[in-house]
Structure 1
Amino acid sequence: MIGRLLSERYKILKYLGGGMSSVYLAEDIILDRNVVVKMIKVDAHDEEKSRLRFQREVQSTIQLSHPNIVNVLDVDETEEYQLLVTEVVDGPTLKQYIKENHPISIEESVNLAVQILDGIEHAHTRGIIHRDIKPQNILLDGENRVRITDFGIAKALSETRMTETNQVMGSVQYISPEQAKGQNTDERTDIYSFGIVLFELLTGEVPFSGETPVSVALKQISEKLPEIDDYRKIPQGLKNIILKCTEKNPADRYRHVDMILEDLRKYDTIDTPYMHSDAEDGSTIQTGKINPVPKVPGPSEDPAAGPPEKKKSRWLWLIPLLFMLAAAGLGAYMMFTQEDEVTALIMPDFQGISLEAAEAGLAEHQLEMGEVIEEYNDTFEAGEVVETRPRSGVTVEFGTAVDFIVSAGEEPFVMLDFTGENFSDIQEQLNEINFNRIDLTEAYSDSEPGTVLSQSIGPGEEIRPDEHNLQLEVSRGVEPVEIVNYAGEPYETARDELEQNGFNVTVSQELYSEDVEQGAVISQDPSYGSFLPGSTINLVVSIGPEPPQNMLYSTTVNIPYGEEEDADEDDEENPPKTVNIHVEDANNPDIDEVFETFEITEDTTHTVRLEIEPGETGAFMVEVDGEEVIDEEIPYEE
C-alpha cells in the first residue's frame, strides 16, 4: 500500500494504525500537504447500498467546523474502499497523554473535559452523534488543544457492513449499555462514553475491564461504577457529573451536553452526593446501591402466583437475554428457539486479535479450531487474524470448525540490484522502500560520480526493509593523481610519465634558454597538485640558448660641402652638390652600389645605419660630387 496513489491525489506514505479503518499518512500531491487517509471497507454483499449510506453519513461530517474537531477535508472512494481524508494533527491521543502524565491536575482535567464537550455539542446541535467517544479518538495538538476525530464513522459502518449482525460499534470499554445491547442510540450514548472518559482522565484507569470483550460489555450493562474515591480523591461535583453521565438508563443521564457544561462550571461549589431516580419504581436511592442481577428462576408451579408473578418471570428471563445481546453486540450472537434451546450462534469477529486469543474465543463460543493459513498482509501485524471462514456475522452451528487466515506480516521485499545505478536516480525509490536506515560510503572508481558500486543486501534477498539498514558504496569518480614539477627534466620523460598517468600533454611554447638545455622542460601549467586523469598539462620546452643577433650600428657623420666655387656676390646660396652613400652590411653586400643619394649646399650631418652579422665587418663610404670624403669600416661587436 505504501507508495500507492489513491484518487489520483493521495500518495500513501506511512501506515499509522487501524481500528474501524486502516489509517495512513498520505501526501496530497495537488495541494502539496500531508493528510490522514482512513480507508474503510464496506459490505460486499450490499455494496451499492452500503456505499450510498456511507457517503451520506460521512459527507455530513464535512459541515463540522470547530476548534475541537478534526477537520474532514474530503470524502472519496475507490473500487475497494471508502476514503475519509482529514487534516493531520501533530500530537498524542488523550489515551497516550493520560498514560504519560497521570495524575493530571483537576484544573487541567476540567479544561480538557470542557473542550471535549464543546466539540461534541457542536456536532450534536447539527444532528451528528459520534457513537465512539474514547481517548483513542481524542487528539491533543501542539497547543494542548483537544481535537476529536472520527465523527460519523461509527454510524456509517453500523449501517453498512454491521447492520445484518447488529454488531455494536465502539471500543467496549467506553460503549454505552444500549450500544452493548444493540439498541437504538441517541446523543446520550456520547454522554455515557464521555463519562467513562472523564473517569479515566481523573483516575488514570477505565472503570470496567475483563478478559474478553463480552465480559466487559456485560459489566457496562449490569455493574455499578466503581467507587471513584478508591482511585483518587476528587471534588464531589466532578463525581456527581461522572455518575450522572454513566447512568445505565439513558433517561437518567444528562439530556444534552450543555447541561454537563453548566455543572462543570460550578463543580467546586457542590458537596452533596449524587442521588438518582430508579426508572422502575420512581423511588430515590443512593448511587451504586443497585441490587445484583437475580438468577433466572425456574418455571413457577404455584397457581396462586397469578398473572403478576408471570409478568415478573418474563422480566427476569429478559435479563440474561440482555447479557446475550451484549455478547451479540461484540460478535457472539446467540440464536434461541422458542423453547430457549441454544442451537447456533452468529460467527464472532476475530479480526485483528492474536491467534491465541482467537483460540480462547473459539472455546468460549463452543467452536472448533480449523485450518490456519498464513498470508502476507500489510495491515495486520504478524500473528493477527485477518479473516475467518466462515466469515463473521453468519449463523454457524456449535462445534463448527473455523479456518483462520492469519497475517504473516508484511510481504517480504525482494531486494533489487542497485549497482550501476546513479544514487540520485534511485534515492526516491529507496525512500519509498522504507529501509530502517541508509548509509552511504564513497570510493574512487572509474565509474561516474554517484554510481552505486556495491550494496550490503544482495539482490534477490527477501527482507523486511524497516528492519534492515542498507549500506551503499557510491563512486566518487576517478581518483585524482598527484603530479610533480618536471622543470629541468627532459621533455620526453615528462611526457611519457604524464601520459602513463592518464594526462594529456601539450607543448604550449618553445623558448630560448641560457639555463635550460635544449629539449628540457622550462616550466609547466599546472606546476603541481592532484588532478583528474584526462586533464591537460601544458609544458614550456627549451630550444637551447638564443643564437647571436645581428648588430645594429648607427653613426652620425659630418659631410663637408668643400670649398665654395666662385659665384656672384648676389647669389644667395651655394650650388648644390650630390652626395652618394655606399653601404656594405648584412642587407647590402656590394659597397659599389649607391645606397642613398641626396644634395647638399653646405656642410651637413647625416646618420648612417648598418646591420652587421656576427663575425662580419660592415663599411660605409660617402662621396660628394664623386669625391670620396668618408670611408669607414665597423667590426661586429657583441
Structure 2
Amino acid sequence: MSDTWGLAGGDQIAPGLTAVRPVGGGDVYEAWLAFDERLYAPVVAKVVRPGHVDAGSSRAALVREVEMLSRVSHPGIARLFSYDDEGPRPYLVLENVDGPTLSSLISTHGYLPLHQLLPLGLELCSALHYLRQQDVCHLDLKPSNVIMGAPAKLIDFSVAMDAQEAAGLTDPVGSDEYMAPEQCRPGVLGTVGHASDMWAFGATMFRAAAGYRAYDREPRWAQLDQTPFDLPHVVPTVLGDLIVSCLAPDAADRPGPAAVAEALEPLLARLPQARLSGFKVRL
C-alpha cells in the first residue's frame, strides 16, 4: 500500500483546510492544492505522509522548514501562511504560485528561449542574494523546486539551514544531480555554504538553457569526475561561460548572485523588444 492519506478532492486535510487536487510531493510529504477558509483563497498544503508522522526526523524537518520560512520574506520565495507540527496530520500551508515547475516546463517544451531564461536567472539570483543577507543556505535548488510564476519562486526549504550549520555538515545533503562537490563530500571537497547554492543555480540554469542535464545521471555524483557537457549553440557564448563558471569545482571560483545578475542584465537589455505587427495608425 502506498504511503498516502488517501485524500480526494473535497476532503478535509485539517479544520478549515479542504483538499482540491494533488500537486505532487516526495518521499516524506504529499502536496495538495487546497482551499483555506481563513484566507478564503487557494493555497498549497504540504502534508507529512502517514508513514513519517511518528518519525522524529520528519517532524524535525517540518519544524526546520517553518523556522527557515519564518525568517524570510522575498518576492521570489513562496510564503508560509500557517502550519501544524503537533497534530495527527502535520502540515504546512504555503502560497499557491500560479505556474508549472521549471522541471515540468522543460520536460514538456525542452530548453527555455532566452526571453524566459534570462529573467529566470535574474529572479533566482535575486532570491539567492537575499538569502545570503539572511545567512540562509537553501541547499536544494533544482528545477522541481522552482515555480515558473511571475516572478519565478523558490520552494521547499526542508533542508535549508543557516550558513554556520551548513559549514559544519559532515554528511551529504541535497539532491544528487544538483549538489555541489562540497555537498557530496563535505569536509573533504570543501565547506558547504552559500557558494553551494550557486553551483545548484548553475546546474539548474544549464538544464533550463540546454534542455538536458550538465552531467550524466549515473554514476552517482558524476560531477565529481566529469566536466559539464557542452551547451547547445543556441546559447550565447557569454551566457554559457557565465553558467559554467557557477559549476566551478572550487567554491571560491564561483561568482556570487549579485555578480551573475549584473552580467545577465545587459544580455536581457539586448534582446529584441516585442512590438505589434501589421499596420499602425499614424497620428
**What TM-score, normalized to structure 1?**
0.36
Q: Secondary structure at the match of 1:209?
A: coil
Shift of 1:44: 4.7
Shift of 1:234: 2.5
2:262 alignment counterpart? 262
Identity level (%) = 24
2:177 alignment counterpart? 173
Shift of 1:124: 2.2
Report the Cα distance in structure 2 between the residues aligned to 1:69 and 1:89, rounded to whole angstroms.
10
Deviations 1:20-57 (A, max 9, x none): 52212222123322211112366856x3x874674255
Question: In the superposition, relative to structure 1, how do residues 9 and 135 fare at CA in structure 2: closer, same or farther (>3 Å)?
Answer: same
**1:553-564 paired onto structure 2 within 5 Å:** none
Report the Cα distance in structure 2 between the residues aligned to 1:51 and 1:210, rounded to whole angstroms.
30
Q: Does the 8 A contact of 1:245 with 1:253 survive in 2?
A: yes
Shift of 1:80: 5.0
Q: Does the 8 A contact of 2:80 with 2:92 survive in 1?
A: yes
2:101 alignment counterpart? 93
Q: Secondary structure at the match of 1:17?
A: strand
Report the Cα distance in structure 2 between the residues aligned to 1:114 and 1:37, rounded to whole angstroms.
28
Q: Secondary structure at the match of 2:106?
A: helix
1:201 and 2:208 correspond: yes
1:149 and 2:155 correspond: yes
Report the Cα distance in structure 2 between the residues aligned to 1:90 and 1:53, rounded to whole angstroms.
26
Q: Secondary structure at the match of 1:104?
A: coil
Deviations 1:266-314 (A, max 9, x none): 459xxxxxxxxxxxxxxxxxxxxxxxxxxxxxxxxxxxxxxxxxxxxxx
1:249 alignment counterpart? 250
Report the Cα distance in structure 2 between the residues aligned to 1:250 and 1:81, rounded to whole angstroms.
40
Report the Cα distance in structure 1 between the residues aligned to 2:257 and 2:250, rounded to whole angstroms.
17
Deviations 1:225-270 (A, max 9, x none): 1122xx234222212211210011212212x3112112223459xx
Amino acid at match of 1:134: K
Q: Does the 8 A contact of 2:170 with 2:186 survive in 1?
A: no
Shift of 1:15: 2.3
1:432 alignment counterpart? none
Q: Secondary structure at the match of 1:173?
A: helix
Report the Cα distance in structure 2 between the residues aligned to 1:16 and 1:130, rounded to whole angstroms.
22
Question: In the superposition, relative to structure 1, how do residues 129 and 165 fare at CA in structure 2: closer, same or farther (>3 Å)?
Answer: closer
1:554 alignment counterpart? none
Shift of 1:65: 2.5
Report the Cα distance in structure 1 between the residues aligned to 2:58 and 2:144, rounded to whole angstroms.
26
**66, 77, 81: which one pairs with 2:85?**
77
1:17 and 2:24 correspond: yes
Q: Does the 8 A contact of 1:235 with 1:267 survive in 2?
A: no
Question: In the superposition, relative to structure 1, how do residues 73 and 79 fare at CA in structure 2: closer, same or farther (>3 Å)?
Answer: closer
Question: In the superposition, relative to structure 1, how do residues 165 and 119 fare at CA in structure 2: closer, same or farther (>3 Å)?
Answer: closer
**1:209-608 paired onto structure 2 within 5 Å:** 209-211=216-218, 215-217=219-221, 219-228=222-231, 231-254=232-255, 256-266=256-266
Report the Cα distance in structure 2 between the residues aligned to 1:236 and 1:107, rounded to whole angstroms.
16
Report the Cα distance in structure 2 between the residues aligned to 1:54 and 1:17, rounded to whole angstroms.
17
**1:57-136 paired onto structure 2 within 5 Å:** 57-80=65-88, 82-136=90-144
Report the Cα distance in structure 1 between the residues aligned to 2:226 and 2:113, rounded to whole angstroms.
28
Report the Cα distance in structure 1 between the residues aligned to 2:174 and 2:112, rounded to whole angstroms.
29
Report the Cα distance in structure 2 between the residues aligned to 1:26 and 1:266, rounded to whole angstroms.
40
Report the Cα distance in structure 2 between the residues aligned to 1:105 and 1:51, rounded to whole angstroms.
40
Q: Which runs of 5+ in 1 are unaligned?
A: 157-163, 269-638
Question: In the superposition, relative to structure 1, how do residues 53 and 193 fare at CA in structure 2: closer, same or farther (>3 Å)?
Answer: closer
Q: Does the 8 A contact of 2:139 with 2:159 survive in 1?
A: yes
Amino acid at match of 1:31: L
Amino acid at match of 1:83: Y
Shift of 1:89: 1.5
Report the Cα distance in structure 2 between the residues aligned to 1:104 and 1:79, rounded to whole angstroms.
42
Greater Rg over alpha carbons, structure = 1
Report the Cα distance in structure 2 between the residues aligned to 1:82 and 1:124, rounded to whole angstroms.
29
Q: CA RMSD in A?
A: 3.0
Q: Does the 8 A contact of 1:62 with 1:73 survive in 2?
A: no
Question: In the superposition, relative to structure 1, how do residues 82 and 129 fare at CA in structure 2: closer, same or farther (>3 Å)?
Answer: farther
**What TM-score, normalized to structure 2?**
0.76
Q: Secondary structure at the match of 1:206?
A: coil
Q: Which runs of 5+ in 2 are unaligned?
A: 162-168, 269-283
Deviations 1:50-71 (A, max 9, x none): 7467425522313432222211
1:28 alignment counterpart? 36
Shift of 1:192: 0.3
How many correspondences in the alignment? Answer: 249
Question: In the superposition, relative to structure 1, how do residues 82 and 221 fare at CA in structure 2: closer, same or farther (>3 Å)?
Answer: farther
Report the Cα distance in structure 2 between the residues aligned to 1:81 and 1:132, rounded to whole angstroms.
25
Question: In the superposition, relative to structure 1, how do residues 220 and 82 fare at CA in structure 2: closer, same or farther (>3 Å)?
Answer: farther
Amino acid at match of 1:188: A
Q: Does the 8 A contact of 1:61 with 1:128 survive in 2?
A: no
**180, 187, 194: which one pairs with 2:194?**
187
Q: Does the 8 A contact of 2:139 with 2:173 survive in 1?
A: no
Q: Secondary structure at the match of 2:153?
A: strand
Q: Does the 8 A contact of 2:64 with 2:158 survive in 1?
A: no
Report the Cα distance in structure 1 between the residues aligned to 2:173 and 2:197, rounded to whole angstroms.
14
Amino acid at match of 1:192: W
Q: Secondary structure at the match of 1:153?
A: coil
Amino acid at match of 1:32: Y
Q: Secondary structure at the match of 2:125?
A: helix
Q: Does the 8 A contact of 1:71 with 1:87 survive in 2?
A: yes
